[in-house]
Amino acid sequence: MAEKLERSFGLWSTVSLVVGGIIGSAIFMKPALMASQLGSPILLLAVWVLAGGITFLGALTNSEAAAMMPETGGQYIFFQRMFGDFIAFIYGWSAFAVFNTAGAASIAYVFSIYAEYFVHLPRLPKETEQLIYLHIPGIGKIFPFENIGVKSLTIVLVWLLTLVNYRSTKSGDKVQVFFSFLKVAAIVLLVGGIFLFGKGSIANFSHATPHSGWPLVLAIAAATSGAFWGYDGWNNITFMAGEIKDPQRNLPLGLMLGLLSVISIYFLLNLAYIYVLPIESIATSSFVGSDAASSAFGFGAGALIALMVMISTFGCTNGNILATARVTFAMAQEKRFFSSIGQVHPRFKTPGNALLLHGVWTSLLILSGSFDMLTDMLVFVSWLFYGLGAVGVMVLRKKMPDAVRPYKTWGYPWVPLAFIAFTILFLAIILYNDVKNYLDGTSPLINSLFGMVLASLGIPLYFYFKKKYSSISA
């Protein structure tokens, strides 16, 4: 029997993993792009709440399966029971190749971008950056040496936290709890300080959107994609279900408490941004958190906010690295991946080889693209599986009607159906936007299709591992 990981996480560790795994870079990076897309402060607030509400519907649905099957690997295990080995493997491969590793890469990327607030990171001449590239037919070009200083620091951060979690799960947990507390406290102080001492204006909330009709729908869809990136990572806690104490209670409760906390924090922080900065200033800001603080408190406050962002992204990167390698680990223990990846480190009792493999692939993804490319790619593929997970909960109701369900989805079947319907619409609009941006020349890649290409590489791998382990067992 494969050796299992220890159950060492209580309720508040679970909540901190949810909060810490979600709040990272998006709330400090995406409001600028979203503001430029929407042109309206009220719509900006509404989109963050809308995305949070839809994500919460997904969490309500997902919690049923999580409480039924509290095992390390989370969604991979769920898909195995819902749809069988093939879909489970494609999910697990996609988690490794696309959204889990790209998630860690993009969050760590923002740590390095904000580090430039304090120190200039080296960059090659533009001509040299464009000299070496990889062309993917029908999808676009990748420039590995673009912004090489930021990419190099990002890789260093990923490996630092990979080694921390390699040596000790408890150390990774302590890092997570500490940085989750620190980032929430810093955000609360920032919001409170802006409203108490900042020189803002209620008039900033009155700007009307310039869009109407179909352009407004596309603008809302594009901005919602950015907000969804802000909430991504909400289900990472399910990957660690086999390491949570009393998981039937603590998993769904921790997931919901954590997500409600994040929705509230995001709303208040965007409210503070708008109070001190006109929507036009938010739209053109490279460091919106720092600019908001500088506008409220004067020059110098921006440096403190840049430091806060670095703290936030440091903790969020750790949370992603800590949780996501468990999916690949679970696949290997199920004999669906390289067997060495499923080994528990004999001394440290961690999924050491899985963590190292994730570190290598995450580093390659960092070299492959920019922050926006990574986030657009992973949001599309991850939401494809979020929607499929909601379908799977309904499948389990038919396949396993008598199974013990410590938690049942509130509002069933309407909550899962609403979530599924939105997911289909959302994916269609994002694909349309991606193709349009590529044809317009505003994006070097069709990001969603690039993510799907990486995910589809799992199809031949599934049959390879199936043949390999069936011949061994024979």
- Name the pLDDT band for 60 (thresholds 50, 70, 90): confident
Provide the percentage of residues in the chain whose pLDDT is more than 90.
25
- pLDDT at position 468 is 84
Give the mean model confidence (pLDDT) for residues 228-247. 78
pLDDT digits (tens, 9 = 90+) for 125-157: 888 878 877 777 766 777 788 889 999 999 999
CA atoms within 13 A on the CB side of 414: 2
Calculate ∠ Cα 34-38-39, nearest 5°: 110
Beta-carbon contacts of residue 302 (< 8 Å; ≥ 6 apart): 117, 287, 290, 291, 293, 294
Q: How far is CA 432 from the centre of its chain?
A: 22
How far, in Å, CA of 259 to CA of 22, rounded?
8
Cα four-point dihedral sign 438, 444, 450, 451: negative
Predicted local distance difference test score (pLDDT) of residue 114: 85
For residue 411, what are its two tokens?
A: 């509002």
Q: How confident is the model at residue 1 (pLDDT cuts 50, 70, 90)?
A: very low
| pLDDT value for 8 | 67
**Higher confidence at residue 24 or residue 273?**
273
Report the pLDDT value the prediction gives residue 404, as an integer from 0 to 100: 85
Q: Name the region of 351 (left: φ>0; alpha: ψ -120 to 50; beta: rest).
A: beta
- Over range 24-44, report the average pLDDT: 85
Q: What is the DSSP string of 173-236?
A: HHHHHHHHHHHHHHHHHHHHHHHHH----GGGGGPPPS--HHHHHHHHHHHHHHHHHHHTTTTH
> Is the pLDDT at 237 greater than 70, yes or no?
yes
The CATH superfamily of 11-473 is Amino acid/polyamine transporter I (1.20.1740.10)
What number is the average pLDDT over the span 399-406? 88
Instruction: Tell me what the pLDDT averaged over the chain comes to.
Output: 85
pLDDT tens, 206-227? 877 777 787 888 888 888 888 8
Residues 6+ apart with CB under 8 A from 145: 124, 128, 129, 131, 132
Q: Which residue has the tokens 């509230």?
A: 264
Could you identify the residue written with the tokens 């080296």?
A: 122
Extents of the domains making up the chain: 11-473
d(CA 85, CA 103): 25
Distance CA 164, CA 67 (A): 29
Rounded CA separation 451/94 (Å): 8
Asked if 148 and 155 count as a contact pair (C-beta separation under 8 A), the reply is: no
10 Å CB burial of residue 71 (0-12, 13-18, 19+) is: buried
Q: Judge whether 231 and 55 are in contact, CB under 8 Å.
A: yes
Q: Is the peptide bond before 406 cis (omega within 30 degrees of 0)?
A: no
Give the confidence band of 461 by pLDDT, cuts at 50, 70, 90. Answer: very high
Under 8 Å between Cβ of 254 and 38: no
- Over residues 466-470, the mean pLDDT reads 83
pLDDT in tens, 312-369: 888 888 888 888 888 899 889 888 899 899 998 888 888 999 999 999 999 999 988 7
Q: What is the pLDDT of residues 148-192, one digit of tens each?
A: 999 999 999 999 999 998 988 777 667 777 877 887 887 888 888
Express as a percent the part of the chain with pLDDT over 70.
Answer: 95
Q: Is-contact 407 248, C-beta < 8 A?
A: yes
Q: How far is CA 41 from CA 89, 126, 282, 284, in A?
A: 42, 35, 10, 14
95 DSSP 8-state letter: I
| pLDDT tens-place string over residues 428-450 | 988 888 888 888 887 777 888 88
Distance set, CA 23 to CA 39, 313, 314, 394, 456 (Å): 24, 8, 10, 30, 29
Tokens encoding 252: 């769904």
Which of 101-115, 284-298, 315-329 has the weakest average pLDDT? Answer: 284-298
